Chains A and B, each alone.
Chain A
Amino acid sequence: MSALKLKKGASSHSAYDLRDPHGNVIERHTLAAIVDNEAGVLARVIGLFSGRGYNIESLTVAEIDHTGHRSRITVVTTGTPQVIEQIKAQLGRIVPVHEVHDLTVEGPAVQRELALFKVAGQGDKRVEALRLADIFRANVVDSTLESFVFEITGTSEKIDAFADLMRPLGLIEMARTGVAALSRGA
């Protein structure tokens, strides 16, 4: 498995499930849970992760159906294949959880994150920041003579890359939403 140098969780792009269910390779998975939008449901999900020692790399939650009282929780987590399967099974048995989807293995998915960057600087650095923001298709949503706030949307990797570039140019504050994800196609 590791000798094949497959990308983490890349089995969805193969005709076979190449993942070794007992492997010790740590994979990163994006899970989406459709839950009742009721008091405490987020605490149940977070409590499950902390209580059983699972990782949360990012977590996004918002109501998606007001009349149906449904929210969507998107969690990016890491673990061995066995742990990932456990996380899904444990999420599935929380009473207000209706569906659990593993967007990493269920087929191609779109994953996006939104971030706001506050970059302060003057002169060349300020011009360079604006130029790079243009390359990354980040929008300027606030501007003073000494600062910009950029809004950028993309994969987590793209946002990481943008952050790396902004840091020497005067990045002073950052806010990220965490990943939102949907499967491709209908």
Chain B
Amino acid sequence: MTETKMTKSMTGAKMVVQALKDQGVDVVFGYPGGAVLPIYDEIFQQNAIRHILVRHEQGAVHMAEGYARSTGKPGVVLVTSGPGATNAVTGMVDALMDSIPLVVLTGQVPTFMIGSDAFQEADTVGITRPATKHNWLVKETDRLSETLHQAFHVATHGRPGPVLVDIPKDVQFATGTYTPPQAAGTKHYAPKVKGDIDTITALVEAMETAERPVFYTGGGVINSGPAASQLLREFVEATGFPITSTLMGLGSYPASGDKWLGMLGMHGLYEANLAMHGCDLMINVGARFDDRITGRIADFSPRSRKAHIDIDPSSINKVIHADFPIIGDVAHVLEDMLRIWKSRGRKVNSEGLAKWWKQIEDWRKVDCLKFKPSEKTIKPQHALQRLEALTKDHDRYITTEVGQHQMWAAQYLGFEDPNRWMTSGGLGTMGYGLPASIGVQIAHPDALVINVAGEASWLMNMQEMGTAVQYRAPVKQFILNNERLGMVRQWQELLHGERYSHSWSESLPDFVKLAEAFGGKGIQCSDPADLDDAIKEMLAYDGPVIFDCLVEKHENCFPMIPSGKAHNEMLLGEADTQGAIGATGAVLV
């Protein structure tokens, strides 16, 4: 950094571009409008930062999420004031729930008009205060660059999350002094990354004697970076402990690994949930005991001691009491755990473990993902099995929308590496997958990016097909089309006396024509015999594809732990569903 640059004077709009460059940003997802025109003018006059013009601001945020989750870098969004900002809110809450680092820049009406109900004015920092990890309204150009650097710092340190910087138009026009990243005051926000060594040692001692241990891992492993996944794999292999993961953590341990039990939770695998229920030592690494995971709290893993490793102190003891609470970054804590375990002689309870694995093998024999095949209609599970078989050797990234297809994707697709699986977990945002897939493809232009979708979710942000075509992002939209809101329908069947209130998709577009209308390719498949060829046709096409896979309309997603039930009260198939959900479960979601 040269002396002249240290004290450089420039307009606020220029500062925004300069700060993004200094933060290593290469892509911004955005949509222009009156209150951000000065920034767009600066973007026009440079080439270092690529701007992706979306079709709706929600799409911009989900694209940034896909970009962030697949690269480990923060995603950046630029939108205008008022409706630009309010349209971005859903994406920010989504990122907040799933701990995705985002920096969202919003234009604002000039400072002298704030509070006057000006055109396209909204109280953006007020509206987004509970939707972000932190937000700022910048009222002086001299404070702008430092605030932007702090925004990046906060988004990416501690538990990652979305931040927002609201920039009034007069602040963009005015000239001020640019503060480079190194000079920005970011020291105050420094969450602890090293775990308490005494607690870690106590946990290692418990691991040495545990008869029925299980690793329960989550999105925190992926957020911690590649080193965390590497350490986790080493630890699992060295101890021989079984491992399961939440929806958010898939890929941190390879699905092909022999210690892998599959995903746990409401639609998790039988062996994973029963291992959680029956374990005597649960090692939670970067997960948060979400209600989709625990089921009925009172009966959650009743005989285990529980360790909880989380960088966010508020996650510890929030839902489930931790016997070994460890506040710290997953990679740092695993490194210490592994070192201490090795230095104490790499001990495990081999006899207990052997029995435990025998029990797990018995559970595995239940083969909970089996389904009734059909030669007439495409079963959604079969479609995903074929997709898996035909794409697993590709450099592949998967995104999803929200619903049955999402759970089937988690069950039937295998993830070998972290950052390869982008899905809306905490908020469950329908409409996430298409824009997320574009964000991933922008970050990885040569990779195969597939959005496994349901037709209803997909329609929620279908306008982004235009973005995919414009930027030649060859995303594959693999739509499991059952003409139903499948998960809603499933719950109505189980809980509401089969009264299917508004849970079907009528007046659906012709997806093949729709793809063509956007300038992409459309493929429809309804016969299981044609499926492989159709998938191959999709993969061979160098451009965006909408694959309309017409599947069985009334297939339910199993296994399922109904709301308000414990892990050992799982439904494995249609035969188990009679009267499965009681009145108390019905009020839960």
Contacts and interface: CB of A to CB of B under 8 A. Distances in A.
The judgment on whether A and B are partners is yes
B156 to A, nearest CB: 13
A120 B359 CA distance: 79
Contacts of A93: 158-159, 312-314
Contacts of A98: 188
Interface in A60-100: 82, 85-86, 89-90, 92-96, 98
Given A22-B321, A95-B189, A98-B188, A43 B313 contact: no
Contacts of B314: 86, 89-90, 92-93
Contact of A82 (B188, B189, B317): B317
Contacts of A89: 313-314, 316, 318
Contacts of B188: 98
A43 to B, nearest CB: 6
Interface string B126-147: 1001100111010000000000
A155 B263 CA distance: 54
Give the contact-size bracket for chain A: 10 to 19
B321 A21 contact: yes
A86 B129 contact: no
Contact of A95 (B126, B130, B133, B317): B133
Contacts of A44: 129
A40 B125 contact: yes
Interface string A31-46: 0000000011001100
Nearest to A92: B313
A107 interface: no
B422 interface: no
B130 A47 contact: yes
B130 A51 contact: yes
A47 B131 CA distance: 11
Nearest to B132: A95
A82 B321 CA distance: 9
B192 to A, nearest CB: 11
A39 B159 CA distance: 23
Contact of B129 (A47, A85, A92): A47
Interface string A156-185: 000000000000000000000000000000
A177 to B, nearest CB: 26
Nearest to B125: A40
Contacts of A96: 134
Contacts of B189: 95
B154 interface: yes
Contacts of A22: 321
Contacts of B154: 95
A158 B545 CA distance: 73
A66 B263 CA distance: 53
A52 to B, nearest CB: 10
Interface string B151-167: 00010001100000000
Contact of B134 (A21, A39, A43, A95): A95
B174 to A, nearest CB: 19
A86 B318 CA distance: 6
Contacts of A39: 137
B104 to A, nearest CB: 15
28 contacts: A21-B317, A22-B321, A39-B137, A40-B125, A40-B126, A40-B129, A40-B137, A43-B129, A44-B129, A47-B129, A47-B130, A51-B130, A82-B317, A86-B317, A86-B318, A89-B313, A89-B314, A89-B316, A89-B318, A90-B314, A92-B313, A92-B314, A93-B159, A93-B313, A95-B133, A95-B134, A95-B154, A95-B189
Those 9 A-B pairs whose CB atoms lie nearest each other, nearest first: A89-B314, A95-B134, A89-B313, A90-B314, A51-B130, A93-B314, A47-B130, A95-B189, A95-B154
